[in-house]
Structure 1
Amino acid sequence: MNRLYHYPISPFSRKVRLSLAEKKIEVELVEERYWEQDADFLLRNPAGKVPVLRMGSQTLSDSTAICEYLEDAYPTPALLPRGAEDRYEVRRLVAWFDDKFHQEVTSKLLGERMFRKVMGTGYPDSANVKAGAKAIKYHLDYMARLLDQRRWLAGNEMSLADFAAAAHLSCLDYISDVDWNRSEVVKDWYAKIKSRPAFRSLLADQVPGFPQPAHYADLDF
């Protein structure tokens, strides 16, 4: 059995879970409190980060590297387009969400509102929360500009870029930190991707002490 060491409200874990589910690759999910730096987990990934995917005799780490490996090993359905320019655009947007969006938004909202409590590192920093709440508006507007020109974020076919974005936004949606009324086109995009079978396990996630908001698993918001 393939095994994914993950944390439910980790956007990097969720990106890999979406890729696995879309490709219909069955895995056993093992929740990993990676911040505790368990010795066995550090043997699997000395970087001490989730996700880590165990497939046969292989142990794979780094969410983007895992997703690209899955694309090479299981090319159908494709989450990276064929053309060099199109593949570049997908990779650019994956990096945008996993780097810029994460640093400016996810780490400041999810990190402060949820992970400080989960990890026991104190109270939320209000300055970080305010900065994250301001930054997400910019990112939602950027997504709206892209989606005004394209069916999906990177082009006319769904790709890993959409999964990277949805992974971050779904975590933030769990703590009700996304204003879906800011952009109808972004809301429609999320409803479309949220309705995919690959998304079902994400909608079932539960974090002790943080009940799901009423709209979280509602496909029609």
Structure 2
Amino acid sequence: MAQSLLLHHFPLDPASRQARLALGEKKLSFEERPVRYWEFDEVFHALSPTGRTPVLEIGKGEGRILACELLAVLDWIETQAPKPALLSTDPAERAEAMRLRTWFDRKFEVEVDAPILYERMEKRLQRLGPPEAEPLRQGRTALKDNLTYMEGLLTRRDWLAGTTMSQADLAAAAHLSVLDYFGEIAWRSFPHLKTWYMRLKSRPSFRSLLADRLPGMAPVEHYADLDF
């Protein structure tokens, strides 16, 4: 019998979105429990002392396993459901996928997500006042630089890390999809990146992401369009 899976997540958290995409690509059925991370959640903090999403509960009762935070979740998914592989068996391509995944979850998060999503989303959720122009300017400058780098990779590769879709693509798509929710990406300036994103956006694993909505924060008009 398949183990029950319960994912504690915040819908517009890039790390949570990576977990959802990986579960979807592996065709693993799971239940969802959204977390309002800006409020104390006794149930969630009992599972994750750091308070960071996502957390995947695997099974119930005494045999329950807790995979806390993204890397633990991805590791469990890849180990328990090895096909389709999201990390190549080719050493060079595997290393490149892991490099890019780390780049997104560290460098991109700090330079781009932290200022833009804080100003556009988190301040509003926490009622901390209107966005400030200077952090947004800095974040958007860094976003353009990072997108230019991605565009360069995709001019010579089918997928970000090489010949097959990998965790690097899911990481990139998770981060970019949140920024796209708020209309922060000038897709016309990055044609190879746009084509890559359209391919990912059309996959079944992406459907639940395109249905996400935050109360009082509607996405841009093209957000759920597959041909945009």
| 1:93-138 CA distance string (max 9 Å, x none) | 0011111111111111112111111122333232110001111110
Matches within 5 A, 1:1-221: 1-56=4-59, 57-221=64-228
Give the Å deviation of 1:58: 0.8
Give the Å deviation of 1:34: 1.8
Letter in 1 for 2:143: I
Distance 2:175 2:48 in 1: 22
TM-score (normalizing by structure 1) = 0.97
Letter in 2 for 1:32: V
Q: CA contact under 8 A between 1:35 and 1:48: conserved in structure 2?
A: no
Letter in 1 for 2:34: E
Letter in 1 for 2:7: L
Distance 1:202 1:103 in 2: 22
Give the Å deviation of 1:85: 2.1
Distance 1:127 1:218 in 2: 31
* CA RMSD, 1 decimal: 1.0
Letter in 1 for 2:130: Y
**Percentage of pairs with the same residue:** 45
SS in 2 for 1:59: strand
* Runs of 4+ deviating beyond 6 Å: none
SS in 2 for 1:35: coil
TM-score (normalizing by structure 2) = 0.94
| 1:63-84 CA distance string (max 9 Å, x none) | 1221122111110111000022
Letter in 1 for 2:164: E
Letter in 2 for 1:28: E
Unmatched 5+ stretches in structure 1? none
Letter in 1 for 2:150: M
